[in-house]
Amino acid sequence: MAISVRISSKDQTRKYIFEEGATVLCKIYIRRLAEWKPPVARQLCGPQHCHLTKGSGHFGHRYSWLDHVPPFHGAKSIQQPCIHLTPNPSSFPRVGIFKGSPPTASKHGKPRESCSCYLCNEDLIRFQSLLSSDFTTIGLVDTALQMVQNNGSIHGEHSIKLLCLLHKDLDKCFDSVVNMYPSILPDFALSVIGSDYGKWKQFLTCLMVKLREEAQTPTGKEMVYSSALQGVLLQLCGLVSATDFLRLLPDDGNFIFFLPFIKLSFEKQQSKKIKKHIIDKGEELRQMT
């Protein structure tokens, strides 16, 4: 698609056409996703490739946690073979002598079965990458949300809404992810929050509210959320200062539970100081020689 090629470049002179081009792409992708239907049959003419965006171009580096949000089923699920392909044994070479025809999908398969392969989700993956870009504007987000609402249910709708809310309403985004996808919380927080103290405060407040709800009215997910919190704290203690780490912890938290993470936070801070001291001394010696 010529438009996507133009706005995907790292060339900073193209950032001025990003919103106009991205808005056109947004409309195209949402129209396709609204009309999306899984194939009844698919012919494979060659190896299945996954052309995922990388780097710092105007298409963002797609967040890895999106692999755990439907229609995807986990890490590397995009790379799985298309379930609508049913290889025919006669299509494979016989001892390297006879060539067979490309495998085709069985027409008696399940046409409405969800598949997470790249071939079935290329438009969704590209749209997710577009919304993951640092250049994404509120105008583009508003256009996407309005079109999703106007089209009713579309393929990959929830992941699109989450990406839009990241730019428009963090509290609502955090609440949705915490309630629906506890297993992705450490990866999600690391990739979208980084070392931003204010955002960590918002996120941890939301997570602790959910943990209190689980403690008061158990739904059987208390261990899942406890494990998610531990993963989040392991990420956090290496991103902010030990002082900020302590300030982010809940006032009513169990000291015994949080003690190992507090200790680790101070250890990491001390390690950084020692590393910086060694580097500074090395630079001083280099300048003296």
On whether residue 162 sits in a domain, the answer given is: no
Tell me how far CA of residue 81 lies from CA of 40, 75, 86, in angstroms: 15, 14, 10
On whether residue 224 sits in a domain, the answer given is: yes
Render pLDDT for 158-205 as a digit per residue (tens, 0 to 9). 999 999 999 999 999 999 999 999 999 999 999 999 999 999 999 999
CA angle 16, 18, 20 (to 5 degrees): 100
Are the beta carbons of 164 and 144 closer than 8 angstroms? yes
Going by pLDDT thresholds of 50, 70 and 90, the confidence category of residue 106 is very low
On whether residue 243 sits in a domain, the answer given is: yes
On whether residue 256 sits in a domain, the answer given is: yes
Render pLDDT for 116-140 as a digit per residue (tens, 0 to 9). 888 889 999 999 999 998 888 899 9
On whether residue 27 sits in a domain, the answer given is: no
**d(Cα 166, Cα 131) in Å, to the nearest integer?**
9
On whether residue 103 sits in a domain, the answer given is: no
Q: How many percent of the chain have pLDDT more than 90?
A: 49
Number of domains in the chain: 1
pLDDT at 5 over 70: no
Render pLDDT for 49-60 as a digit per residue (tens, 0 to 9). 555 555 554 456
On whether residue 199 sits in a domain, the answer given is: yes
pLDDT at 267: 94
Range of the structural domain that residue 220 is part of: 169-289
Going by pLDDT thresholds of 50, 70 and 90, the confidence category of residue 110 is very low
Question: Residue 98: helix, strand or coil by DSSP?
Answer: strand
On whether residue 254 sits in a domain, the answer given is: yes
Tell me the pTM. 0.77
Render pLDDT for 59-87 as a digit per residue (tens, 0 to 9). 568 899 999 999 998 888 888 888 877 65
Give me the phi and psi of 71, to 5 degrees please. Answer: -90, 10
